[in-house]
Structures are given as structure tokens and as C-alpha cells.
Amino acid sequence: MGSAVTANKFFKNQVVRFILSAGAGFVVDICAFYLLYHNFFERPFYSVFGYALNNYKLSLGVSFFMGVIVNFLITRYFVFNKSASTPLKQFIRFSAVAVVGFFANLALLDFFVQTLDMYPPVARITAALSLFFTSFFVHKIFSFSLSLRHHAGEDNSTSN
């Protein structure tokens, strides 16, 4: 009985649910990045709309947005499911945050690969983990229009 209550309390915690949601998006993103980097974008550079892009940048562009879709769906229905905002408004806001997150990830990825000479798949993981906590608070407040009150122990019965 005690372990069921503990598990129930554990899964009612928004931070825990966000970690699980972001974790699922992270796994999709990282696996897709690795597969794209090693199996699809095998040349070092590609020309896209007249711009020369590294294979790791193209891999990030595709994998990141695959992870965003998975993350949005799980976050919408599992983490911040008491939001009064319409799903379209949430998706537009979530996507806006994702675009900013993409460029933050791209800047970190470039820094890790170009400056620190990191292997791109390892640099991708490092960049994503570096931005995790910022993402939680930005999505909670902006994407889903929820307050920061009681975020750590939220049971969704008192959400805004």
C-alpha cells in the first residue's frame, strides 16, 4: 500500500512527468540524430538553399523537430494537461520556444564540435542536457500558461 501511494505521489509531480516527457523526446532526438549523422547525411557538407551546412547541423535540424513533436504530445496530455489554453495556442507557443531552443542547441553544438572538438553525437547529448531545466520553466509559464506555484508537488487539481 505504501509503495502504491509513493508511486502515485511520484507521478503526480509535474517535474517528474516533465522529465519523463522530455526524456522521451530526448531519446527520439538523440537516436534520430545518431542515425541521420551516420547513415543518411554521410558527406561532411551539404548545400541547402545555397548555404553549405555540416552534416551534424542537418542531422540536428531533422532530429530536433522529431523530438519536439513527441515532447509536445506527451507534455500536452501527460504533464500540463490542466492548461486552459487551446491545443493550437499551446502548439504555436511550444513551437516558438522550440525554435529558440533549436538555435540555442545549434550554438552549443557548434561550440562543442568546432571549439572543443567533441564527437557530434556526444556534443548533441551535452547540448540537450545543458538546456533541460530552462525548457521546463519556459514551457510551463509560456507554452501552457501555468503559474510556478507548487510546481514541484503539483497534483493537477489546483492548476491554473
User: Which range (18-22, 45-49, 150-154) has the least confidence?
Assistant: 150-154
Mean pLDDT of 146-158: 51
Three-state secondary structure string covering the chain:
CHHHHHHHHHHHCHHHHHHHHHHHHHHHHHHHHHHHHHHHCCCCEEEECCEEEEHHHHHHHHHHHHHHHHHHHHHHHHHCCCCCCCHHHHHHHHHHHHHHHHHHHHHHHHHHHHHCCCCHHHHHHHHHHHCHHHHHHHHHHHHCCCCCCCCCCCCCCCCC
pLDDT tens-digit map of 94-148: 899 889 999 999 999 999 999 999 999 999 999 998 887 777 778 778 777 776 5
pTM for this model (two decimals):
0.78
**pLDDT at residue 147 in the model:** 67
